[in-house]
Structure 1
Amino acid sequence: MTQEQAAYRTNQSANLFERAQKVIPGGVNSPVRAFRGVGGTPLFFNHGEGAWITDEDGNRYIDYIGAWGPLILGHRDPGVIAALEAQLKNGLGYGASTEGEVVIAETICKLVPSIEKVRLVTSGTEATMSAIRVARGYTKRDKVLKFEGCYHGHVDGLLVKAGSGALTLGEPDSSGVPKSYTDQTFVLPYNDTDALKALFQKHGDEIACAIVEPVAGNMNLVPPRPEFLATLREVCTQSGSVLIFDEVMTGFRTALGGAQSIYGITPDLTTLGKVIGGGLPIGAFGGKAEIMDCIAPLGSVYQAGTLAGSPLGVAAGQAMLDAIQKPGFYESLTERTEQLTRGLQAAADKAGIPFTTNQVGGMFGCFFTEQKDIHRFDQVMSCDAERFKQYFHLMLQNQVNLAPSAFEAGFVSAAHGDNEIELTIAAAHKAFAAL
């Protein structure tokens, strides 16, 4: 072990994890935090600043998780902190409507033209669950179509060949979900247009909605083939099915108008989260007014949330949305992410390690494989997960914090400058050499 690696300690994290396991299932409040996919002791953090995050042992890391996406401006952005401090002076919440809810709803509808009306909720899971309920109420149908490796939160009927934590745990189907729920769910391979056409030809009039991550970020990062999204839009239109884009992860992360603005596809409903809360818990779903007006109190589809539209969440989210509208923001973010992925690829090539990357906007994915075009679920599953585990810990020892799973995308923030990118690439050279 080098002197640099010897300075890396996890004593406090190990102690906290031991305590946590006695009172929290698995010692964590979300499965991927448990490091089951990579082994070792999960880290406990206590501070973030810009592109850096610090654990309980005082180790500092360049952070490529960013609270799983929402911290597009980095940790403790001054504008977001100021917005929260201003709201704190007025209270935490009122159990009633506020101007902040209206302002952020207006902003969302302006930035994502497919959203004519929007309802705020408290999580991404709640957003997808509610969008599906509305689609079923609108169409008077029950069947739902999802795609392999796409994770849409822990909604009962969607935990079939799901991505993210379900893949990390090696359990694509969750216990506790009645078979009658999943019997209503069709599952197709992501990016397979032939299978898509065949399913809708046979069952199109039964399908209430198709839900998809327009850029899959929960089986690592897998971009769509352009013809895939176009075909999905076409068959949904022909069959009268509602097309739902799950942009909880990609919305305002890949582009100002979301992934739908990149690929030129207009969904009927969109689910959002992450960035629109500025780091606080929030979600939203919206789309065509005709569909959204099916929701109570206007319509018969019931959906409610006591803390929906939290004054703190909308204040932080609006500050974030204001910041990302500045000219050149996404061009700079994309350029920085491309700089990172080029450097990682060069480091792997130099060491002779089979490796490839995907990138869309400020999101990226890394794959240990000989294949250079990763666009299917089975390709992701055939990658060298064992080598990723080694890579993950080597990067951690060299001050780089990556998602503790081979099935999660990475996130670059506006706070990642040349110094952070150069340090990350230097760490990758060391890691690939050790591999």
Structure 2
Amino acid sequence: MGIFQEAQQYIVGGVNSPVRAFKSVGGEPPFIERGEGAYIWDIEGNKYLDYIQSWGPLIFGHCDKDTQEAIIKAVKKGVSFGAPTKVEVELAKEVLELFPHLDLIRFVNSGTEATMSAIRLARGYTSKDDIIKFVGCYHGHSDSLLVSAGSGAATFGVPSSPGVPADFTKHTLLAEYNNIESVKAAFEKGDVGCVIIEPIAGNMSLVPAKKEFLEELRELCNHYGAVLILDEVMSGFRASLRGSFDIYGVEADIVTFGKVIGGGMPVGAFAGRKEIMEKLSPVGPVYQAGTLSGNPVAMSAGLAVIKKLKENPEIYKELEKKAKALMEGFEKTSKENGIDFTYNVVGSMFGFFFNPKKPENFADVDSSDTQRYAKFHNKMLNKGFYFAPSAYETGFICTPMSDSDIQNTIKAYEEIAKEI
């Protein structure tokens, strides 16, 4: 019996997060034993160049020495106290130092927890129940965010998962990404307390927002008295040192963070303006709590990574250069083989589409050839290149990736292009 079959006897679907099951690309997932730098090895000894990097947090690659040392030092003192520690204060200062419009932060344990808590806080601050989210943006699996579109460009959401009561999603309005008119229509339909958006959407492969769209979104929130939440769980410290803020300059009322600020450990956070954040318990009436929030191991890992990034901001240019080289190589090979191909690169993040048109929203992304992506994924995995097991996920470059790693990936794609 293989390990995946054994896993299915004890773990639902054999995995603890659905995309890991490889359902959208076929085949069986390799079970990973260890990682080092840009590479991972499975339990059978197969080596892969890893373009997932634990879905983003490992900007310095696997087993980064500085991060490891910080974690080991913290673990030796104790893994959790359920009490305040100095290191969480230090990480808070390092993060907030970068954002002049953010005053206070609260650490949690996951991106889902960060966005869920940020929305509750926004509703509590505005005393308005309705929220606007965008089709194709993923903000975790809390009930009010698991919605799909009904009829029309902007409408009240309906549950996209069994187990979510319709009453929980009736306050969630959907709009189309990069379409400000759909946002205006949503505002007119409800009493909107907040708008939540990935300014650089990383859950429909990679689709960045247009600058003017985000600026108009900011103006609409000001006009209607709604809180603007920028979900940067994925793009924060990945797209640039200050995430979307360096790219667009749009000031959110609340920003959610995750991934990189935990250095690979489970972590999330939300930060915002003082008058909003002070509505949060224990200062204000909006309740949020967590035994493991701000635990010293995750905080120590995050502190090591953020300090290292602040000391070496030039790495973003290097990572973007490598991401562009990879995508340009894929584009050239695709063109030579008559394959429709477009891509986006933002800092150390990349996303590509087997599509003649560069997508601007989820409907565009959904028109891509996902069957071709499944073939691509399977054949590249067999050659030792580990891409996301879904056409709807973003890829990541890490600092240990060399120019030769990039060229070897392009060469492998050249070898399989005719077959897909």
Calculate the TM-score normalised by the size of structure 1.
0.92
Structure 1 counterpart of 2:72, from 74, 80, 85: 85
Q: Does 1:231 align with 2:216?
A: yes
2:267, 2:107 → 1: CA distance? 7
Alpha carbons of structure 1 residues 47 and 181: separation in structure 2 relative to 1, 3 Å: same
Q: Which residue of 1 aligns with 2:298?
A: 313
Q: In structure 1, what is the Cα distance between the partners aligned to 2:194 and 2:189?
A: 12
Distance (Å, rounded) in 2 between the aligned partners of 1:87 and 1:323: 17
The answer to whether the Cα contact below 8 Å between 2:174 and 2:186 also exists between their aligned partners in 1 is no
Q: Does 1:348 align with 2:334?
A: yes
Look up the match of 1:168: none
- Normalised TM-score (structure 2): 0.96
The correspondence for 2:28, drawn from 41, 47, 68, is 41
| 1:50-199 alignment, distance < 5 Å | 50-161=37-148, 173-199=160-186
- State the AA in 2 paired with 1:127: A
Residue 355 of structure 1 contacts residue 368 of structure 1 at CA under 8 Å; is this kept in 2? yes
Identity of aligned residues (%): 48
1:167-199: CA deviation from partner (whole Å, max 9, x where unpaired): xxxx98111000001101000111111112233
User: Stretches of 4+ moved more than 3 A in 1?
Assistant: none
Other-structure match for 1:243: 228
1:360 to 2:357 alignment: no
- Residue 297 of structure 1 is matched in structure 2 by 282
The number of residues matched between the two structures is: 411
Residue in 2 aligned with 1:405?
390
Q: Which amino acid aligns with 2:332?
A: A
Q: Is the 8 A contact 2:323 2:350 kept in 1?
A: yes
* Of 315, 318, 330, the match for 1:329: 315
Q: CA deviation at 1:203?
A: 3.9
In the alignment, the residues of structure 2 paired with residue 383 and residue 235 of structure 1 have an alpha-carbon distance, to the nearest angstrom, of 31
Give me the whole-angstrom Cα distance separating, in 2, the residues matched to 1:113 and 1:405. Answer: 36
Contact 1:108–1:115 at 8 Å: present in 2 too?
no
Residue 113 of structure 1, CA deviation: 2.6
Which residue number corresponds to residue 152 of structure 2? none
Shift in Å at residue 225 of structure 1? 1.4
Match for residue 258 of structure 1 among 238, 243, 266: 243
| CA distance in structure 2 between the partners assigned to 1:399 and 1:112 by the alignment | 39
Q: Determine the C-alpha separation between the residues in 2 that align with 1:94 and 1:298.
A: 22
Cα pair 2:33 2:42 within 8 Å, conserved? yes
- 2: distance between equivalents of 1:32 and 1:89? 34
What secondary structure does 2:351 align onto?
A: strand
Specify which of 358, 364, 367 is matched with residue 382 of structure 1.
Answer: 367
Q: CA contact under 8 A between 2:121 and 2:280: conserved in structure 1?
A: yes
Give secondary structure in 1 for the equivalent of 2:345. Answer: strand
Q: Closer, same or farther in 2 for the Cα pair 1:161/1:364, shift >3 Å?
A: farther
Partner Cα distance (1:349, 1:114) in 2: 44
Mean CA deviation greater in 238-247 or 317-326: 317-326
For structure 1, the 5+ residue unaligned runs are: 1-13, 163-170
Task: Map 1:11-50 onto structure 2 (within 5 A).
Answer: 15-50=2-37
Q: CA deviation at 1:231?
A: 1.1
Contact 1:149 1:161 (C-alpha < 8 Å) held by counterparts:
no
